[in-house]
Amino acid sequence: MRRVAAPVLVLVGLSALALTGCQATASASDSSAPADAPITIATLPLGDDPSAENPIEAFAELLEAETGRTVEVTDVPDYLSVVEAIRADHVDIGIMSGFPSALAVNTGEVDALLAWKGDDTPVSTCVVLNDSPIREIEDLEGATVAFADQASSSGYFMPVYMLHEAGLEQNEDYEAVFAGGHEGSFAALAQGQVDAACTAIMLTQLGEPYFPFADGEWRGVGESPSMPVAGTVLARQSLDDETRTLLEESLPVVFSDENAAALGALGEGFIGRETTISPEPELFQGFVDIAAVAGVKLEDLR
């Protein structure tokens, strides 16, 4: 496994993906590439604890062992950059949560290689410090709330929907700020820059290094609904058939119980869930109504 430099991907917001829909560039490893070419992955950095195995690196090593192919990892700054890297043929695959997956599939220029179905488990909560006067969702009226980024399922779409269901509208009843990721949200909360940080319940359960607050230092306010799709492996449409089949066979093996400890947070939301190979776009339609609450029309982003 090796890391490579990220291509320059400028994404100002959700509309950027739509605006660049007809500007895909040629890939360095297109459909005519040899079958033993490296498998390339775009990902957000995950896991900065030097004493623990980085789950992205662990995933790459497990995938190398399963496929017999070299795996190259490219770190990008946010979820939309992962989608754009795949859509523009810069990388082969990326692992995404439900909403950015739905966004990507709705462009018609990115394939869903594999999907993990959701269950009835709540996805998100809004974290406050233990001494905060905020006790209920309704108490967030007038508050400043940190979200991960504009394409995060658990750090934006689901908590915004949860707040909407409680009668609170973004930038009307509370101020929304984007921290650039879950870690940024936690840092803003710890430094007193925001009143609450909305994030994945899974991260609060994992603890350090993914969640920096110890028991007794924080409380969760509210729980969002579940999602129909927990996550997806997205692929470029020009991926050769041999590599596509190899990944479809290898990925479920990599995301198995025996690799749970090594994969950490990366595997936590996927291992043990029902897997669908080559899911149809209709599987993602359940995200459309929730996205509309955040002012995003996924069906228009093509």
The residue range of the domain holding 154 is 124-221
Say if residue 100 is in the same domain as residue 234.
Answer: yes
Supply the pLDDT for residue 4: 67
Say if residue 207 is in the same domain as residue 257.
Answer: no
Supply the pLDDT for residue 256: 96
CATH of the domain at 26: 3.40.190.180
pLDDT digit string, tens, across residues 43-69: 986 654 444 457 899 999 999 999 999
Supply the pLDDT for residue 228: 87
Say if residue 59 is in the same domain as residue 199.
Answer: no
Domain boundary among the residues 175, 206, 221 is at 221
Q: Find, among 117, 125, 161, 127, the residue nearest to 269 by Cα.
A: 117
Domain boundary among the residues 187, 221, 255 is at 221
Supply the pLDDT for residue 12: 34
Backbone angles phi, psi at 273, to 5 degrees: -90, 155
Supply the pLDDT for residue 287: 84
Supply the pLDDT for residue 97: 86
Domain boundary among the residues 173, 198, 221 is at 221
Supply the pLDDT for residue 107: 83
Say if residue 30 is in the same domain as residue 130.
Answer: no
Say if residue 136 is in the same domain as residue 47.
Answer: no
CATH of the domain at 173: 3.40.190.10
Supply the pLDDT for residue 152: 87
Supply the pLDDT for residue 33: 52
Say if residue 110 is in the same domain as residue 237.
Answer: yes
Say if residue 213 is in the same domain as residue 238.
Answer: no
Q: Which residues of the chain have pLDDT under 50?
A: 7-32, 48-52
Say if residue 213 is in the same domain as residue 70.
Answer: no
Domain count, the chain: 2
Supply the pLDDT for residue 204: 96
Say if residue 144 is in the same domain as residue 181.
Answer: yes
Using CA atoms, how far residue 135 sits from 105, 129, 169, 218, in Å, is: 38, 10, 18, 11
Say if residue 211 is in the same domain as residue 240.
Answer: no
Say if residue 186 is in the same domain as residue 237.
Answer: no
Supply the pLDDT for residue 26: 39
Supply the pLDDT for residue 19: 35
Supply the pLDDT for residue 276: 95
